[in-house]
A = this chain, B = another copy of it.
């Protein structure tokens, strides 16, 4: 068995010479090849599997011994042709295939083509160790012997690990219960954050997106990046105020009001953790990491900071940095050693949600100029590329969320979300949330029987106004006219309304509704324009519309109305819950945390309220682009079936739950 051999690892291509008889896992480690292991080479965890061609055993590698065939195989899966690299001795020159699932830094593939995959860079890793029993001759404490075992069996650097003081109470019993074999969770390579008796190879995390309307979380296997459960619920703060500003007002008017809202959102977080762990058949004690994103006001309330300063100029954040804190300090119930990471805010009105969306959409890694917009009561706007990135918020108000609209409502079953107006008859067709049928489809009435048509939501009002413009009901400067063309145009005092639905529960688009949409869209556009001026561009290469609203408006109509600047239509993407995706990325990757922290430091913050040109842009953006605009024509020509492609029942269910 003397001598050496050459070994090559695919796909990394790393190669080197090792002594004959070296295990493949040891060879990999000595060559810096990324192979996972939780048990440390004891044929327990099965994470170090590699592919060996079937005719190799006995020739280039040792044949399977009892540790694989008798001990391991009956207990856990071993893919065909795979071997446990910790149990295979290399005997002659060979090539080893390391499957993606055996790599620590594996990729999590995301569904949207335009975004980068997530590289898992675990913030927590598990280490199985066998600890020396206490010995009167040495008098080393349980913790010291645990550290010594970690250092000897895993990495010399672990000799100096600190331990979360919250674990001290259970350390003795875990060691004894595990008969001196325990699995240790190490957070960020520096602190022991959990100790479990015996072997364990699952550790969970939760990524939270704390929205003003909805609090949503994903329960994730931290080692594989796999989502085990997702859940969302209304933000219970809604009882203190429907929108953000009314919650800030509540805090200003009521002593202790901020504390009440903090307690409410933390209770929601705890209830979602319960719900998701139950669904996944796990215990809350298995949750070791949490990440949180939210707009600045949600961010402050989650952290127990009164948001009142965000309600008045100069809109000073108490803190914009990322926050690393023990979960318990946020009142979050999980493992006693669980850590929470709250993503950083960008600026006074550009929150951790925007930072997370940027982490997900990665304008800072893009060669093209990307515009990333998240519309809520404020629009959070990021514009730029890898060279330079700007951020601003713009006071769109709640019109895009259906508020301050005569028949407006939050997106919920019964809300009109799509509108088409016949250019000649001016008759309308529409679709409502909760049904996949258009109002002139057979069976429509039955499909909405349980909830009826209750109002119009943000995406509905945008399409309605855009269609009214395209049908000539609304002029380029936003005035409703054409009373002579149809009795759907009705006078209301000195102005006109368009009767979208007549009857017992009529739904009209009134002149003030159009004005509200004009104001909102002008604010959004002016903010974008301001950033374009600053960046010195008159064109953006790509638009990402984030958030629930961004996912549901039709980009064509958005451009017809002039919400966003012109851009190739196939370069306009709904980014979905980009903030939530960012929270997930930060949950799975320590490198991503560093990345988002660097990003918020380098991004240039523009405060629209004090920019003289904002007002000019705002006024200029009040009108609706001329009907000869190419996108106006495009909107007219888009066939209806094409609008349906995102309305599978699956998407629909998710939408009903998550809409802002």
A residues neighboring B (CB under 8 Å) = 133-144, 163, 165-166, 168-169, 171-173, 303-306, 309, 313-321, 323, 325, 329, 345, 347-348, 605, 607, 609-610
Contacts and interface: CB of A to CB of B under 8 A. Distances in A.
29 contacts: A133-B314, A134-B314, A134-B316, A136-B313, A136-B348, A136-B607, A136-B610, A139-B347, A139-B348, A141-B345, A142-B309, A142-B316, A142-B318, A143-B318, A143-B321, A144-B319, A144-B320, A144-B321, A165-B303, A165-B323, A165-B325, A165-B329, A168-B304, A168-B305, A168-B319, A169-B305, A169-B306, A172-B306, A172-B309
B172 A318 contact: yes
Nearest to A145: B316
Given A166-B329, A303-B165, A329-B165, A319 B139 contact: no
A137 to B, nearest CB: 6
Contacts of A171: 305, 318-319
A139 B605 CA distance: 7
A315 B609 CA distance: 68
Given A141-B320, A143-B321, A144-B320, A315 B169 contact: no
A-B pairs, 5 with minimum CB distance: A134-B316, A141-B317, A143-B319, A139-B347, A141-B320
Nearest to A259: B169
Contacts of A317: 139, 141-142
Given A165-B325, A168-B304, A169-B306, A136 B319 contact: no
Contacts of A168: 303-305, 318-319, 323
A319 B610 contact: no
B319 A141 contact: yes
A304 B173 CA distance: 13
Contacts of A321: 141, 143-144
A607 B320 CA distance: 53
B610 A141 contact: no
A605 B165 CA distance: 25
Contacts of A345: 141
A347 B134 CA distance: 12
Nearest to A307: B172
Contacts of A313: 136
Contacts of A610: 136-137
A163 B319 contact: yes
Copies in the complex: 2
Nearest to A135: B314
Nearest to A325: B165
A130 B533 CA distance: 36
A144 to B, nearest CB: 7
A318 B165 contact: no
Nearest to A166: B329
A142 B347 CA distance: 12
A139 B607 contact: yes
A166 B330 CA distance: 9
A314 B314 CA distance: 64
A607 B323 CA distance: 46
Contacts of A144: 319-321
A610 B137 CA distance: 8
Contacts of A609: 136
A1 B168 CA distance: 63
Contacts of A173: 306
Contacts of A165: 303, 323, 325, 329
A321 B309 CA distance: 43
Nearest to A608: B136
Nearest to A604: B139
B319 A142 contact: yes
Contacts of A303: 165, 168-169
Given A141-B320, A305-B172, A136 B166 contact: no
Nearest to A171: B318
Nearest to A345: B141
A599 to B, nearest CB: 15
Contacts of A320: 140-141, 143-144
Nearest to A316: B134
A172 B171 CA distance: 39
Contacts of A172: 305-306, 309, 316, 318
A643 to B, nearest CB: 40
A364 to B, nearest CB: 18
A607 B166 contact: no
A607 to B, nearest CB: 4
A347 B136 CA distance: 10
A264 to B, nearest CB: 16
Nearest to A142: B318
A135 B609 CA distance: 12
A655 B607 CA distance: 68
A309 B173 CA distance: 10
Nearest to A169: B304
Given A136-B314, A172-B318, 20 more contacts: A134-B309, A136-B313, A136-B348, A136-B607, A138-B605, A139-B317, A139-B348, A141-B316, A141-B321, A142-B316, A142-B317, A142-B318, A142-B319, A144-B321, A165-B303, A165-B323, A168-B319, A169-B304, A172-B305, A172-B309
